[in-house]
Amino acid sequence: MSIVTLKELLNIAENREIAVGAFSVGNMEMVLGAIKAAEKTNTPIIIQIAEVRLKTSPLEVIGPMMVAAAKNSTVDVCVHLDHGLNYETVEKALEIGFSSVMLDGSLLSFEDNINLTKKVVEKARKYGASVEAELGVVGGNEGGGKAHVIQCTDPEAAKEFCERTGVDALAVAIGNAHGHYKTQPELRLDILKEIDNVCSTPLVLHGGTGITPETFQECIRNGIRKINIATASFDAVVNASRKTLQDDKSNYFTLSSNIADGVCENIENHIKIFNMQILK
């Protein structure tokens, strides 16, 4: 198996009426844990890193590691740049070998978002890579800064946006938010249904941490084909570390393998939900 584009995985998801999990990584243990979960469940996945995370995990270091892990996996893996903030970072990711990129223009005007996204699509096509864009504003803040106010995606605008840009995937805002939800989120499934009815582009759900299995599966029944999970994986790293370090006999090597296993377990559970296998 090999590194594949987002478009290829979204086609499989569409045919099987499931969603592909997109799991954020920040170090080698997270990369290995994610790949292990994909191999255990024999399910293709996306590993991704957001531009805000490059301060602690430089792209020149973690990028080639992600690409190598994808190429060595026994299942298909897409390597994706999540929430790119600068065009130069998109270029760098493509040069390293990422098979998919996102430049987040959701805070720009509709026309500026379209123009920037078109530029990214043109560039990515030269590398045979896929492109995700976002329309509407997802709540919270991937970088932990000031929370963005949620602005749900307008269905007709989504249709026009996808037709004019030719993106492979569109992230929608339906009441979802990055980070921990303060209360159980009430997603606007009515808006999701409307977007899915008018827009043939596969849809992406950001802010996956804290959404219930039932809601994930309802979203999948209404056109969501990629689901992003970040906070739950970072929490799995911290929890596995705390637990390991309580044991006086722990050392660097037990810590490293327990972190990878903790991440793997969390991702495996998500994969089963996204594959429409379990409600747990």
Residues between 239 and 278 with contacts to ligand 13P, criterion CB under 6 A:
none
Residues 6+ apart with CB under 8 A from 225: 10, 13, 14, 18, 19, 20, 169, 202, 203, 204
Among the listed residues 21, 26, 19, 12, the one whose alpha carbon sits nearest the alpha carbon of residue 66: 26
- Cβ at position 248, least distance to ligand 13P in Å: 33
- Cβ at position 250, least distance to ligand 13P in Å: 27
Residues 6+ apart with CB under 8 A from 224: 19, 192, 203, 204, 205, 216
Residues between 209 and 228 with contacts to ligand 13P, criterion CB under 6 A:
209, 228
User: Which member of 84, 136, 155, 207 binds ligand 13P (CB under 6 A)?
Assistant: 207
User: Which member of 76, 82, 194, 268 binds ligand 13P (CB under 6 A)?
Assistant: 82
One DSSP character per residue, 70-118 reads HHH-SS-EEEEEEEE-SHHHHHHHHHHT-SEEEE--TTS-HHHHHHHHH
Select 76 or 132, whichever has its Cβ closest to ligand 13P.
Answer: 132
Select 57 or 244, whichever has its Cβ closest to ligand 13P.
Answer: 57
- Alpha carbon of 139 to those of 142, 185, 218: distances in Å? 9, 11, 20
- With CB under 6 A as the contact rule, which of the stretches 109-117, 125-133, 184-192, 201-209 interacts with ligand 13P? 201-209
Work out whether 105 is an interface residue with ligand 13P (CB under 6 A).
no
Residues between 114 and 143 with contacts to ligand 13P, criterion CB under 6 A:
142
154 is catalytic: no
DSSP class of residue 21 equals E
Active site residues: 82
Residues that bind ligand 13P (CB under 6 A): 24, 50, 82-83, 142, 178-179, 206-209, 228-232
